[in-house]
Structure 1
């Protein structure tokens, strides 16, 4: 089935109700993540950028068991029904496929 993949989501919410709309999206997509075997690993709200420009409202990493699992989820009719909530919630976003990095 392939190796796990990690998707970093970086989000900037719309000022008027974006967070609430994204929470609605999160509740709707949670069962789809479960079916895909995915799990949200970490959630962060940046407090202060000490070096460089970094000002998202939140970022988090989702682990999927494989690229196929991710593609199946986002290509499903169930996801198509709820993805508008994400678009309605966000001013801007980044979705970055990542892999673990071994410093040794």
Structure 2
């Protein structure tokens, strides 16, 4: 793994993982990244959850189905990732990094 700034790590994306970034960017207009986790804010058990952010770092509104579908696509594309921690997918590069703890 290669280290990014602030100590986060990512796995170099495969071509199919890079295409997933393009698909999600088309599905979520204005999004530049998605943060995926198994910690839904209103659930007590593991549940796929996505937060999309725009270029200014502002959170975008997503429907419940978009939140779930996007999370499942990312989870299935990186099964080797440690999903006990949230991850951020850069939609432009397809790079998946361990997400920072802060949230908006």
Tell me which structure has the larger Cα radius of gyration: 1
The structure carrying a bigger strand percent of its residues is 1
TM-score by length of structure 2 reads 0.36
TM-score by length of structure 1 reads 0.36
Which structure is richer in relative contact order (CA contacts within 8 A, separation 6 or more)?
1
